[in-house]
Amino acid sequence: MPTNPIKKGLAVGIILLFIGTAIIPSSGQKIEKLSSPASRGNWLYVGGSGPGNYTTIQDAINDSSDGDTVFVFHGSYYGKVVINKSISVLGENTSRTFINYTLEPDWNSHVVMIRSHDVLFSGFTAVLEQGDGVLLRLKDSPNCTISHNIFRAKFGMYLLNSSYASIENNSFFTIVTGMYTISSYGIIKHNWFTNNGDDPRHLSGIKLEVYANENVISDNYFYHCIHYAILSYSPYKNIIERNVILQNNSNDEGIAVYLEYSEYFPPGNIIRENDIAGCDRGINLIGDYFTVENNFLQDNDYGMEFSVFSCYHVAVFNNTFLNDYNGLVMMYGKYGSTVERNIFQGCRWGLSLYQCSGLTAQFNNFTSNTCAVEPWQSNSNVFSQNNFFGNHHYVFSFLSRNSWRGNYWDEPLSLPKLILGILPFIQFDWHPAHQPNAI
């Protein structure tokens, strides 16, 4: 059975309350309690008042060996850090243990660099006051864990050839990009992303470049990431699930999830169970072999849009489009794509097709929309066993000839349902359903 939109809306509010209290680190958080896979060796201490404690983080790292832990007492530490050993670097308290740097001029510069495998970096507020440098850079560093940190800069984190990373429970308050990755098999979850400031570049929460494959982006919170919450070019088999994305709006350019396919291989991405509201575009996909299911899209200009090229073998299942101006827009869709068991409620346009052919739309509920279905220069599509309840217009068809089978049109009908349009002027659902179809 489809999700009740009111209950779903309440669930979104509960999720926001939970994330808002859980992700932002509190002043009492004790990072030293985290277990570390690299903490088998000696402990070296930075700051504090203990005899023999180091005064700089880098001096302690230089004297450490693989498997050691560098523990940093709360305070402010000015200077760059390079971690080139398989160690743990732990801050005592996220909101009171600072790594500060004033200026890093360009994208190739950084404040913290990780150049080793199996590193744990946790419990810091890292701040870069000026410049386009990156706060934390990982290069050729697989199996690293970055957790319970706060990043404040134009660019938060950059991962290059650093697969199997775990990025968890961090807060990114950045101007341009929170996290940029060219790495695979990572887990990015329970993080907070927001962009502040005015910059002419495209601003984003997470950006995945070419060959950032088979990552899982889950349970994150994105608020006002300006242009993109999640941006990916040529993605392959990534999973984007259970994220909350709010208020991505910027002069009709704010997109919650934007994925652009690769022409070299079927991407096979899955976008599921995300809550997206108040964006210019909720989910914007270009390409083939996408699965989009169980998402809740509310109060967006475009809930979901497939555009520009073609969309073969796209599956859109069990999504709810509530009060979006445009619910689902599909352009140039081809055979093998399915729109099934979705709810379109209170939208200006529910389902819009432009130059699509061979699609199947079945078992969907269209309720209280201004126009439920709009085929535009779209032919040979099948609309089967959908329910139409209380829409101002059922169908606006222009230069389109499609097949209508067994749909329910507000009331039991004993005669074929007449569907008006422009060239052809009339079409028929020859055997309309006598009662609502089970969905």
Domain residue spans in the chain? 5-429
- Cβ pair 220, 246 in contact under 8 A: no
CA distance readout (Å), 64 to 44, 67, 82, 89 = 7, 8, 12, 11
Q: What was the pLDDT predicted at 261?
A: 72
pLDDT value at position 360? Answer: 95
Q: What pLDDT score was predicted for residue 166? A: 98
Please give the share of the chain, as a percent, with pLDDT higher than 90: 77
- Phi and psi at residue 108, in whole multiples of 5°? -80, -5
Name the band, by pLDDT with cuts 50, 70 and 90, for residue 179: very high
CB 390 within 8 A of CB 367: yes
Residue 13 parent element (H or E): helix 5-22
Cβ atoms of 59 and 81 within 8 Å: the answer is no
Residue 138 CB neighbour total at 10 angstroms:
28
The architecture in CATH of the region 5-429 reads 3 Solenoid (2.160)
**Measured at the alpha carbon of residue 157, what is the angle toward residues 153 and 160, in degrees to the nearest 5?**
145
CB 334 within 8 A of CB 358: yes
> In terms of Cα–Cα distance, which of 293, 257, 346, 351 is closest to 6?
346
What does the pLDDT look like over 229-255, one tens digit per residue?
A: 999 987 788 999 999 999 988 777 899
Mean pLDDT of the 18-23 span? 40
Averaged pLDDT, 273-281: 97
Report d(CA 99, CA 135) in Å as an integer.
10
Calculate mean pLDDT across residues 417-421: 95
Mean pLDDT of the chain: 89
Q: Say if residue 49's pLDDT is above 60.
A: yes
Rounded to the nearest 10°, the torsion over CA 107, 113, 119, 121 is -80
% of the chain with per-residue pLDDT over 70: 88
> Is 271 exposed, middle or buried (CB count within 10 Å of its CB: 0-12, 13-18, 19+)?
buried
